Structure 1
Amino acid sequence: MADCPLDLGWMRVFEAVGRLGSLTAAAGELGLTQPAVSYVVRALEAQVGTALIVRQHRGSSLTPAGAAMYRAVGVAIAQLQGAAREIRNLQSQSVVRLFTDYGFASLWLMPRVAAFRKAWPEADVHIVASASLDPGQADAVDLSILFGARADFGPAAVQLFEEEVVPVCSPAFALRHGLSAAGEGIAGLPLLHLDSTPRPRWFIWRDWLAAMAIERRPGPADLSLSTYGLVVQAAMADQGIALGWTCLIGDALAAGSLVAVGPPIVRPQSGYWMVPAASLSAPAAALAAWMVREAGTVS
């Protein structure tokens, strides 16, 4: 939160006059008119019963009484501003900022985050989902849930899920094409792809087909989509076979909206990792511990 000056009324006006030595300069700094600043000073002088500034042709100067008031006001403003910073820091500690990708946010986090919010109702959780692998300004994020290998992250990272993928499709698609968990018949059917970089961090269909020693046969055209949530939706809509990261599509498999139609492949040192900031507030630390428990891992 920005460190905005408090509205201190006459104190801030008088402090600016004393510091700048000019009613006009003080007015310019505070966004007021010169008559308005002059009125505030005259009203203060009336309250204390003595002159506080000497108005001169060019600027103004403090009287001895004004100098005493200026010193007191300076101390008071510094103390009040310090108290305001402390209060703002306490308030900001209830905000938890979490960065992750679209797939993890929509398929794993959102179905579960209500449980955390129930346990920590005072925590203001901000979830930032992106197609990027990089959270950008690290100091603005408390927790990042990122996909990659152990070598991609620092020693503080905790692996939530290892990378395990399995071919999946809708039950109707599997029935129509006679598919089973053995993986037979996939070679000539449309595959659903997640658009990625030339060297993706995650498994792609080429990896699974190579692991199964399967060669593609001519058939219906494949479909590529920009986010993993769309890939899963396309699979549920009978558009083809997707690679399902088991940590993300486990709920859909359990509900029967997706079925496995081939053996899984696993890469234990790769997967989703939780990367915490250097220091965490109590709500952020609680969210981190909760995610570890939900993922079934031990930190």
Structure 2
Amino acid sequence: MQPSVTPESASMKSLIAFVTTARLGSMTAAADAERTTQPTISQRIRVLEEHLGLPLFDRRGGRLSLTTQGEHFYREIAPSLDTLRDACDRFRRHGQGPAPSVVIAADAGFAHLWLLPRLPALKRAFPGFNVRLMPIDRADDPERLAADITIRFGPHAPQEEERLVAREVVFPVCSHEYAQQHDISGPLSSSKLAELSLLHQDIRNPRWLDWTQWCQHAGLTLAPDEGIFTYHNYALLLNAALAHRGVALGWSNLVEEYLVTGQLVALGPQITRESYGYWLSVKHHRSAVIEPIRDWLLDAVHRGEGPPTEGAGPRY
């Protein structure tokens, strides 16, 4: 006994099965495309044929081909079905709402020199997110406090729920040309420092080392009348070093790209303040949006760990 066929039997699934099979020329290929099985595709087409009361495919001889009626039917419904699918996709995307926005706040130097070069890779890793960088140096800035992810530089704060991004590692840097011009062939000494133009960022912030503090940690003496050229931000400071104007203090994570490309060379000695570094905190813990991005940032730093001049140009 033949099953009873009603207009509802010609469901969208049956129409899709027919159009996909006609387009691909195979029920097996249609099953793969629709992520189902070949018997399911066959059954859906049978239901459609029974509803229409005519065969849509010629199955004789082990080959599958459209009948004359099937060819006409395909030409009639395929464009309409494509239109319906496109409309459904558009409204489905609209129903999902706007992409979640994630704001990452960090000190200006870290934001421009470490985060910004990695922003394209971060967006590729999270294509459904709208990621914004916010370079802010003031710890009490309202926008910084409202950010989803914050990366700050300074000493460890036990009262804060923070993850260590990278410890502070500081060493002098200059251009290869400047090192050659001033015959720098090894770690700097107190007498050698007196011969060089020292570049410094005038930020008057106790979190950051200046040349006097760096020399104290390195066991060197800085001449009292040593001329130190000051710059308003770290990017200008590094540009001066790149332009062969002198020697700057380099924080490993901020100058690593210049070392890898050979634009700057690292000079010794290298000092590390164990309690200082870059610390990451998140506004909302256990967030399905924030945690994956936080983990990506931490992994990106760890993948780049190693001696400051690994893979770089010459070291003096």
TM-score range with shorter-chain normalisation? 0.5 to 0.7
For residues 292 and 133 of structure 1, the distance between their equivalents in structure 2, rounded to whole angstroms, comes to 21
1:202-217 paired onto structure 2 within 5 Å: 202-217=208-223
Note the alpha carbon deviations across 1:48-77, whole angstroms, 9 max, x for none. xxxxxxxxxxxxxxxxxxxxxxxxxxxxxx
What TM-score results when the alignment is normalised by the length of structure 1? 0.63
**Does the 8 A contact of 1:93 with 1:282 survive in 2?**
no
Alignment coverage as a number of residue pairs? 208
In our comparison, the structure showing a higher alpha carbon Rg is 2
RCO higher in structure (CA 8 A, sep ≥6) = 1
SS state at 1:107 partner? helix
- Are 1:271 and 2:251 matched, yes or no? no
- Are 1:291 and 2:297 matched, yes or no? yes
Note the alpha carbon deviations across 1:67-99, whole angstroms, 9 max, x for none. xxxxxxxxxxxxxxxxxxxxxxx8577100111
SS state at 2:194 partner? helix
SS state at 1:188 partner? coil
For residues 153 and 161 of structure 1, the distance between their equivalents in structure 2, rounded to whole angstroms, comes to 19
- Are 1:189 and 2:213 matched, yes or no? no
Note the alpha carbon deviations across 1:140-161, whole angstroms, 9 max, x for none. 310001011112760x200101
Match of 1:175 in 2: 180
Shift of 1:218: 7.6
Match of 1:109 in 2: 115
SS state at 2:215 partner? helix
Shift of 1:250: 1.2
- Are 1:252 and 2:297 matched, yes or no? no
Note the alpha carbon deviations across 1:87-121, whole angstroms, 9 max, x for none. xxx85771001111111011111111211111111
Which shows bigger deviation, 100-109 or 131-140?
Answer: 131-140
Q: Which of 103, 125, 128 is the aligned partner of 2:131?
A: 125
CA 1:128–1:137 in structure 2 vs 1: closer, same or farther (change >3 Å)?
closer
Shift of 1:245: 0.3
**Does the 8 A contact of 1:188 with 1:220 survive in 2?**
no
Shift of 1:182: 1.1
Please report the RMSD computed on the Cα atoms of aligned residues, expressed in angstroms. 2.5
- Are 1:222 and 2:190 matched, yes or no? no
Gaps of 5+ in 2: 1-95, 304-316
Shift of 1:270: 0.7
Q: Which of 244, 253, 264 is the aligned partner of 1:238?
A: 244
- The AA in structure 2 aligned to 1:255 is T
Shift of 1:183: 1.0
SS state at 2:157 partner? helix
For residues 137 and 228 of structure 2, the distance between their equivalents in structure 1, rounded to whole angstroms, comes to 22
Shift of 1:255: 1.1
Match of 2:23 in 1: none
For residues 190 and 108 of structure 1, the distance between their equivalents in structure 2, rounded to whole angstroms, comes to 26
**Does the 8 A contact of 1:236 with 1:257 survive in 2?**
yes
**Does the 8 A contact of 1:94 with 1:281 survive in 2?**
no
Shift of 1:126: 1.3
Q: Name the % identity.
A: 33
SS state at 1:159 partner? strand
**Does the 8 A contact of 1:159 with 1:271 survive in 2?**
yes
CA 1:201–1:220 in structure 2 vs 1: closer, same or farther (change >3 Å)?
closer
